[in-house]
Amino acid sequence: MAREVRIGCVQSRPLATFDEAIKEARRIAGGAVAAGAELVCLPEYCGGLKSEGGLLVPPSAVETQHPVLDALRGFARESRVWILIGSIAVDGPGDRLVNRGYLVDDQGKIRAWYDKIFLFDVDLSPTQQYRESAVVAPGGHAVVADTPWGRLGMTICYDLRFPQLYRTLAQAGAEILAVPAAFTKVTGEAHWHVLNRARAIENGAVVVAPCAVGAVPGGGAAYGHSLVVAPWGEVLADGGDGVGYAVTTVDVETVAAARGRIPSLRHDRPFSDPGEPRQRPSAAA
User: pLDDT tens digits, residue range 243-265?
Assistant: 999 999 999 999 999 999 999 99
Which pLDDT tens digit goes with each residue over 148-182? 999 999 999 999 999 999 999 999 999 999 999 99
Rounded Cα distance, 178 and 119, in Å: 17
User: Does residue 226 surpass a pLDDT of 80?
Assistant: yes
CA dihedral 13, 226, 245, 203 (to 10 degrees): -140
User: Does residue 217 surpass a pLDDT of 90?
Assistant: yes
Q: Is 126 exposed, middle or buried (0-12, 13-18, 19+ CB in 10 A)?
A: exposed
CA dihedral 262, 201, 81, 44 (to 10 degrees): 150
List of residues 6+ apart from 94 with CB closer than 8 A? 137
Q: Which residue has the higher pLDDT, 122 or 226?
A: 226
pTM of the shown model:
0.95
* pLDDT on residue 1: 55
Q: Considering only CA atoms, which of 130, 147, 68 is closest in space to residue 100?
A: 68
Strands 82-91 and 39-41: parallel
Domains of the chain and any CATH numbers: 4-262 (3.60.110.10)
Share of the chain above pLDDT 70, in %: 98
Rounded Cα distance, 149 and 40, in Å: 13
Which pLDDT tens digit goes with each residue over 61-106? 999 999 999 999 999 999 999 999 999 999 998 899 999 999 999 9
User: Does residue 24 surpass a pLDDT of 80?
Assistant: yes
Q: Reduced to 3 states, what is the DSSP secondary structure of residue 71?
A: helix
Q: How confident is the model at residue 123 (pLDDT cuts 50, 70, 90)?
A: confident
Q: Considering only CA atoms, which of 241, 239, 169, 222 is closest in space to residue 200?
A: 169
Q: Is 144 exposed, middle or buried (0-12, 13-18, 19+ CB in 10 A)?
A: buried
Residues that are catalytic: 44, 116, 157
Q: How confident is the model at residue 282 (pLDDT cuts 50, 70, 90)?
A: low
User: Does residue 284 surpass a pLDDT of 70?
Assistant: no
* pLDDT on residue 266: 97
User: Does residue 222 surpass a pLDDT of 70?
Assistant: yes
